[in-house]
Amino acid sequence: MRDYIPKYLNAFLLAFATFAVGFAIFIAKDSNSSSHLYFSTSSSLWTSSFSPAFITVSIFLTVHRFREKRKRNGSNPGSGYWKRDGKVEAELATARALIREAQLNYSSTTSSPLGDEDYVPHGDIYRNPYAFHRSYLLMEKMFKIYVYEEGDPPIFHYGLCKDIYSMEGLFLNFMENDVLKYRTRDPDKAHVYFLPFSVVMILHHLFDPVVRDKAVLERVIADYVQIISKKYPYWNTSDGFDHFMLSCHDWGHRATWYVKKLFFNSIRVLCNANISEYFNPEKDAPFPEINLLTGDINNLTGGLDPISRTTLAFFAGKSHGKIRPVLLNHWKEKDKDILVYENLPDGLDYTEMMRKSRFCICPSGHEVASPRVPEAIYSGCVPVLISENYVLPFSDVLNWEKFSVSVSVKEIPELKRILMDIPEERYMRLYEGVKKVKRHILVNDPPKRYDVFNMIIHSIWLRRLNVKLL
C-alpha cells in the first residue's frame, strides 16, 4: 500500500496543478491584464525534473504576486487607491520650467540677476550660478518633505551628532525637529518622503562585532519599508522613486541592498558616493563627510593668508585602503615641503598645520569620502584630491576644478612637481574659490541659508525634479 501513495499523490498534485493553471488564466482574463502572467510554451518546463508539487507551488506564488500587484495598483475594489494631488505635480512642473529658463540665459553665466538679501551666487565655482540661484529660491518656496513617524529612537528619528558620522545624526535631528523648515505633516502635500532610520544607530545597537551578522540591516530596513508600504499608499504608488534615505556610515550603501526598490529607485543620500559600489549620480546624492570630534561646531574655520602659508602641502593619517599606502611609501617624512606623516610628531597640531599650508592632501582611505576635504576648506587650504570613483559633494552645482586640485594615484610620485608647477595666479584663484565655497560646506546649528544642510536638501530637490544644472 505504501508504494502506491507517491504515485497517487503525484497524480493528485498534477491534477491540482492543472486546475491552478486554469484558475490563474481566469483571474488574468478577469483583470484584462494577462500580460502580468507568464507561462512558458516550452515543453521542457513540464518534462524537466520539477515535481508536480513544485509546479503547483510556483503557480500559486505567481497568482499571489499578481493579485498583490493588482492591490497595489488599486485595481481591485476597496484597495484605497491613491492618486497624487495635481497641485504637487504642477508645482514641480513649474519649477522645472523656470530652472530651464535660467539655464538658457547665457548672459547670466557668471552671476545671478535675482535679488537675495543673504547671498547671490556668483563666480566660476558654480556650474551655472543663475540656474542654481533660481533652483534654490524655488526650493525654499515650494519643497515639502514628509518624514514617516513610524519607528522609535534610537534606531529611528535620532542619530549621533559627533565623530565621523556626525552629519547623519545632525540631519536626522534637524529633520525631526523641523529646524530646516521643509517638513510637512500632511503626506498628501509632500514632494518626497524621508525614511528616518540611522544606519549608524542600527549597527551601534544591534550589530554584534563577534558574530558580524550584517543581515541585521536587512531585517530592520526591509521590515520598515514593508510597514510603511502597507500603512501608506506613497511607496507603492511611486515604487519608491520619491523616497530618500541618508547615511554617512561606510555601510550606508550596503543598507539599501536588501530592498531592491530602495537600491534601484529611491534617492540614496550618501557620504561614500562610490561609483564602483553602484552609486548612481543620476538619482543618488553625495554629501560631505564631516568629522565633529566632540560635536562642537565653534571655531571650525580659520587660517593664515596666502603669503603667510609656509608649508607647500600637508597630510597626516593612518595607512589604510589602497591609496594611502602609496602616498606614505613615496612621501612619508621624506621632504621638507611635502609634509606627510602617519603619526603626527609631538609639538605639531593637526588643525594648525592645515591652516598654514597652501595645499592639503586628501587621499581616500577605506572608503572614497574623506573628512579632510571639508577640513581643508574650513582651513583655507586648497584640497588635493586623490581618489577613484568618487562623486564629489554637490558636484551638480559646484565646479570643483575651481577650488581644488585632482591628482591620480599614478601621479603620486610626481606630487611635488605638480604642486610646484601651479602658477601663483592660479593658486590665488583656487584659494579665493575655497573661501567662496566654504559657506556651502559649513555646519551651522541652527542651519543657515546656503549652508551644508540646505545644500543637502537642494541635492534631493534636484533629483526629485530630475533636473541638471549644467
User: What is the residue type of 175?
Assistant: M
Last residue of a domain, one of 123, 141, 159: 141
- pLDDT of the residue at 108: 67
Q: Is residue 77 part of a domain?
A: no
264/133 same-domain check: no
Q: Which strand (E) or helix (H) includes residue 286?
A: strand 285-286
**Alpha-carbon span 239 to 255, nearest angstrom:** 18
Task: Say which CATH number the domain at 404 has.
Answer: 3.40.50.2000
Q: Is residue 128 part of a domain?
A: yes
Q: Is residue 398 a contact partner of residue 441, using CB atoms and an 8 Å limit?
A: no
Strand-pair category, 243-247 with 192-194: parallel
Q: Is residue 442 a contact partner of residue 378, using CB atoms and an 8 Å limit?
A: yes
Torsion sign over Cα 179, 184, 185, 187: negative
Last residue of a domain, one of 72, 107, 132: 72
pLDDT tens per residue, range 212-257: 787 899 999 999 999 999 999 999 999 999 999 999 999 999 999 9
CB atoms within 10 A of CB 446: 11
Listed in sequence order, the residues at least 6 apart from 216 whose beta carbon sits closer than 8 Å to its beta carbon are 202, 203, 206, 207
Provide the residue range defining the domain that includes 117: 86-141
**Alpha-carbon span 303 to 309, nearest angstrom:** 9
**Alpha-carbon span 183 to 384, nearest angstrom:** 37
**Alpha-carbon span 306 to 356, nearest angstrom:** 8
160/230 same-domain check: yes
281/148 same-domain check: yes
62/39 same-domain check: yes
Supply the DSSP string of 56-95, one letter for each residue.
HHHHHHHHHHHHHHHHHTT-STTS------HHHHHHHHHH
Specify the 3-state DSSP secondary structure of 357: strand
Q: Is residue 219 part of a domain?
A: yes
**Alpha-carbon span 327 to 287, nearest angstrom:** 25
Strand-pair category, 357-363 with 285-286: unpaired
Q: Is residue 470 part of a domain?
A: no
Residues 386-406, mean pLDDT to the nearest whole number: 98
**Alpha-carbon span 405 to 17, nearest angstrom:** 66
Q: Is residue 235 part of a domain?
A: yes
> Which residue has 602659508 as its cell numbers?
309
Q: Is residue 371 a contact partner of residue 248, using CB atoms and an 8 Å limit?
A: no
* Vertex 348: Cα angle to 344 and 351 (nearest 5): 90
Specify the 3-state DSSP secondary structure of 321: coil
Residues 299-318, mean pLDDT to the nearest whole number: 97
Residues 295-320, mean pLDDT to the nearest whole number: 97
pLDDT tens per residue, range 102-124: 998 867 678 899 999 999 999 99
Specify the 3-state DSSP secondary structure of 339: strand
Q: Is residue 225 part of a domain?
A: yes
Specify the 3-state DSSP secondary structure of 256: helix
199/212 same-domain check: yes
280/385 same-domain check: no
25/167 same-domain check: no
**Alpha-carbon span 340 to 324, nearest angstrom:** 11
pLDDT band of residue 330 (cuts 50, 70, 90) is very high
Give 466's Cβ-side CA count (13 Å radius): 7
Asked, as a colleague might, if the bond just before 154 is cis with ω within 30 of 0, I would say yes
**Total of domains in the chain:** 4
Q: Is residue 278 part of a domain?
A: yes
Residue (of 127, 132, 129) closest to 402 by Cα position:
127
User: Does the pLDDT at position 68 exceed 70?
Assistant: no
- pLDDT of the residue at 81: 62
- pLDDT of the residue at 446: 95
How much of the chain, in percent, has pLDDT values that exceed 90? 77
150/127 same-domain check: no
Q: Is residue 444 a contact partner of residue 297, using CB atoms and an 8 Å limit?
A: yes
**Alpha-carbon span 371 to 215, nearest angstrom:** 28
**Alpha-carbon span 407 to 327, nearest angstrom:** 11
Enter the C-alpha cell of residue 200: 549608524
Distances, alpha carbon 333 to alpha carbons 319, 327, 341, 365, in Å:
14, 11, 6, 19
131/148 same-domain check: no
User: What is the residue type of 221?
Assistant: I
Q: Is residue 172 part of a domain?
A: yes
pLDDT tens per residue, range 167-208: 999 999 999 999 989 999 999 999 999 999 999 999 999 998
314/335 same-domain check: yes
Least confident of 40-49, 335-344, 392-401: 40-49
Q: Is residue 193 a contact partner of residue 243, using CB atoms and an 8 Å limit?
A: yes
pLDDT higher at 157 or 83? 157
Last residue of a domain, one of 72, 97, 119: 72
289/323 same-domain check: no
> Which residue has 610628531 as its cell numbers?
345
**Alpha-carbon span 456 to 179, nearest angstrom:** 14
Residue (of 120, 245, 131, 253) closest to 194 by Cα position:
245
Longest CA pairwise span in the chain (Å): 99
User: What is the residue type of 80?
Assistant: G
pLDDT band of residue 45 (cuts 50, 70, 90) is very low
Q: Model-level pTM greater than 0.95?
A: no
30/51 same-domain check: yes
